[in-house]
Chain A
Amino acid sequence: MSGVRALVGTRKGAFIMESDAKRKNWQVSGPHFAGWEMYHLKGSPVDPNRIYASQSNGWFGQTMQRSNDGGKTWEPVGNLFKYEGVPGTHQWYDGTPHPWEFKRVWHLEPSLTDPDVVYAGVEDAALFRSGDGGQTWQELSGLRCQDSGSSWQPGAGGLCLHTIILDPKNPDRITVAISAAGVFRTDDGKTFQPKNRGLHSQYIPDPEAEVGHCVHHVAMNSSRPNVLFMQKHWDVMRSDNGGDSWTEVSGNLPTDFGFAIDVHAHEPDTVYVVPIKSDSEHFVPDGKLRVYRSRTGGNEWEPLTQGLPQSNCYVNVLRDAMAVDTLDPCGVYFGTTGGQVYASADAGDSWQPIVHDLPSVLSVEVQTLP
């Protein structure tokens, strides 16, 4: 019988939640790696028992974990992320040059075809690849070393590469996003180009600059890889040409600031965001936790509230803390900085909490199991 497995990373450990296809009753295990910040866990689409996890904390730095049995047991794998060549500098917050320094792994993206291949997005922003199941990592330096790299500047959360999108139809095409540099894409697996045309950001000297935009997250439906949806610092954006150009689709959202964005597994024009009040007030507006859904590929949005708190709620939903499953109807999931993980088994029409009281949630990924 098919089911789902949610992989939840929090500030103090990881949790694994499993349910059958009804998605009503959940078995929760954890905390795994108690006390560590678990920025991201993600399973291989080829072998769902192969899961990679990013484990870090301020004392002991970055370690990496791998499971071959769906998260029941784990083994440490390689944690050496060495920038290729002489790393040079990027811009610091005050505009001065600052050396590239590895800090942590924000996002893991397992290959669509090989369970031993996995990509890692790191802070300070760079893209690494492992071809041996995470034992060793090599930088794809064509990203960091392209013309604009030395001008990249961190956002408040750090200079982090947080989004990696693998194109299911073109194995050489990888799209990544960096705060606060923007979107970059390779079509040959080596060289990257900025893909930020159409973004407008008033917090940089030239609001339409080629780089410097604080992109928070980008999502794609795998049936239509040329269509991307973006939650920027402010603005929800859409591209119909793989990022070559973007148009705003914020429409009637109550605020277009936010972090998380995802796309329905079967309806490529159905998009989900969680509007956040503002860049200085990182919580949902009006004390109401509302997911907004567009069934029109943006611009027209409806609030989804059934089962979600509608008073005295002041949580945030971080960029990697929303996911969908591939069951029918599509399941939608998100975790909050207040430690709740919500699930919808009906594409967002109604929600139920899987758990109420975890540590602050950093990431949610969902595997649909055979």
Chain B
Amino acid sequence: MIRVVLPQHLRNLARVGKEVQLQVEGEVTQRSVLDALEAQYPMLRGTLRDQITQQRRPFIRFFACGLDLSHERIDAPLPAAVMSGAEPFMVIGAIAGG
């Protein structure tokens, strides 16, 4: 199972706890994880990536294993520790605004 940590506002929107677990089919990438997340929690569509362009929203970052993966290719494999469930894939709302 892939572990995904969501920021507080999205936990409230999806009515889940800090971390959700996802079954991801095929290769584990940013795209496949987000596809699985949105399939399981449709209310999150559009909150992480634009629904039409599929571009990551500007103030959203993806961290895992101490790395900022935000600018990696969305079809690049995620770190092995994320694939194994040892480490979570973290969705971060960038520090901005008040």
A189 at the interface (CB under 8 A from B): no
Task: Indicate which residue in A59, A63, A76, A79 contacts B57 across the interface (CB closer than 8 Å).
Answer: A59
Q: Give chain B residues whose Cβ lies under 8 Å from the Cβ of A59.
A: 7, 9, 57, 59-60, 93-94, 96
Are A57 and B9 interface neighbours, CB within 8 A? yes
Scoring B45, B60, B97 by chain A CB atoms within 10 A of each residue's CB, the highest score goes to: B45
- Which residues of chain A from 205 to 241 have a CB within 8 Å of any chain B CB? none
Q: Give chain B residues whose Cβ lies under 8 Å from the Cβ of A203.
A: none
- Which residues of chain A from 29 to 47 have a CB within 8 Å of any chain B CB? 33-36
A62 at the interface (CB under 8 A from B): yes
- Which residues of chain A from 67 to 119 have a CB within 8 Å of any chain B CB? 76, 79-80, 82
B39 to chain A, nearest CB (A): 15
Scoring A34, A59, A76, A80 by chain B CB atoms within 10 A of each residue's CB, the highest score goes to: A59
B47 at the interface (CB under 8 A from A): yes
**A46 and B60 alpha carbons, distance in the complex (Å):** 39
- Which residues of chain B from 33 to 91 have a CB within 8 Å of any chain A CB? 43, 45-48, 50-52, 57, 59-60
If over half of A's interface residues share one DSSP class (helix, strand or loop), that class is named, otherwise mixed; here it is loop
A58 at the interface (CB under 8 A from B): yes
B24 at the interface (CB under 8 A from A): no
Task: Indicate which residue in B47, B59, B93 contacts A63 across the interface (CB closer than 8 Å).
Answer: B47
Are A60 and B10 interface neighbours, CB within 8 A? yes
**A59 and B59 alpha carbons, distance in the complex (Å):** 5
Q: Give chain B residues whose Cβ lies under 8 Å from the Cβ of A58.
A: 59, 96-97
Are B45 and A80 interface neighbours, CB within 8 A? yes
Q: Give chain B residues whose Cβ lies under 8 Å from the Cβ of A34.
A: 12
Are A79 and B9 interface neighbours, CB within 8 A? no
A251 at the interface (CB under 8 A from B): no
**A57 and B8 alpha carbons, distance in the complex (Å):** 13
Give the interface size class of chain A: 10 to 19
B13 at the interface (CB under 8 A from A): yes
A309 at the interface (CB under 8 A from B): no
- Which residues of chain B from 13 to 47 have a CB within 8 Å of any chain A CB? 13, 43, 45-47
**A63 and B97 alpha carbons, distance in the complex (Å):** 19
**A33 and B13 alpha carbons, distance in the complex (Å):** 8
Are A79 and B97 interface neighbours, CB within 8 A? no
**A60 and B38 alpha carbons, distance in the complex (Å):** 14
Task: Indicate which residue in A36, A62, A76, A82 contacts B9 across the interface (CB closer than 8 Å).
Answer: A36
Q: Give chain B residues whose Cβ lies under 8 Å from the Cβ of A171.
A: none
Total cross-chain contacts (CB, 8 A): 45
A61 at the interface (CB under 8 A from B): yes
Task: Indicate which residue in B8, B13, B46 contacts A80 across the interface (CB closer than 8 Å).
Answer: B46
Are B51 and A63 interface neighbours, CB within 8 A? no
A130 to chain B, nearest CB (A): 15
Are A61 and B43 interface neighbours, CB within 8 A? no
Q: Give chain A residues whose Cβ lies under 8 Å from the Cβ of B60.
A: 59-60
**A61 and B58 alpha carbons, distance in the complex (Å):** 10
Q: Give chain B residues whose Cβ lies under 8 Å from the Cβ of A80.
A: 45-46, 51-52
Q: Give chain A residues whose Cβ lies under 8 Å from the Cβ of B94.
A: 59
Q: Give chain B residues whose Cβ lies under 8 Å from the Cβ of A61.
A: 46-47, 50, 57
**A79 and B50 alpha carbons, distance in the complex (Å):** 11
A72 to chain B, nearest CB (A): 15
**A238 and B95 alpha carbons, distance in the complex (Å):** 46
- Which residues of chain A from 326 to 349 have a CB within 8 Å of any chain B CB? none
Q: Give chain B residues whose Cβ lies under 8 Å from the Cβ of A36.
A: 9
Q: Give chain B residues whose Cβ lies under 8 Å from the Cβ of A79.
A: 45-46, 51
**A141 and B12 alpha carbons, distance in the complex (Å):** 34
Are B43 and A60 interface neighbours, CB within 8 A? no
Task: Indicate which residue in A33, A60, A62 contacts B93 across the interface (CB closer than 8 Å).
Answer: A60
Which B-chain residue is minimally distant from A87 (CB atoms)? Answer: B52
A160 to chain B, nearest CB (A): 19
Residue contacts A-B, CB under 8 angstroms, 22 given: A35-B9, A36-B9, A58-B59, A58-B96, A58-B97, A59-B9, A59-B57, A59-B59, A60-B13, A60-B57, A60-B60, A61-B46, A61-B47, A61-B57, A62-B46, A63-B13, A79-B46, A80-B45, A80-B46, A80-B51, A82-B51, A82-B52
5 further A-B contacts with Cβ under 8 Å, apart from A33-B12, A59-B9, A61-B46, are A34-B12, A59-B59, A60-B13, A60-B93, A80-B52
3 nearest CB pairs, A to B: A76-B43, A60-B47, A59-B93
